[in-house]
Structure 1
């Protein structure tokens, strides 16, 4: 489960970065950034569902999960609004 939890964190950061590109960049790669954000968010949401269903988190793990979910509130495609 530690690897899946790590993947959740990594997908969070990737999605945040791609959201910034989508918000700020208006050029040749705009469509590609948007598509990659959609893919990243799909993977993030799938991974979040796995963690929420199957993980037995410590209090520190619960806090980390809450922090990850809070960090994702401004990202398009986030199902945790």
Structure 2
């Protein structure tokens, strides 16, 4: 189940000027998944298109390899 989504601005600056986010700053997209039967939550970094296709509360099958997100197939009412 998709348990949380976060998008954060990413920049290469290492100074205190990071408080102001200039236009065109790239974003980092993270999604957390939690097993329905209990267990540890797993968080992965996704591409924007993958991130926006998911909604918190979506249920389905998560695929990953090590720490790399492979895919998530939502379970729709028709598939249950």
State whether TM-score is above 0.5.
Answer: no
- Greater RCO between the two (CA within 8 Å, min separation 6)? 1
Report the TM-score when normalising by structure 2: 0.22
The structure that is strand-richer by fraction is 2
Report the TM-score when normalising by structure 1: 0.22
The structure that is helix-richer by fraction is 1
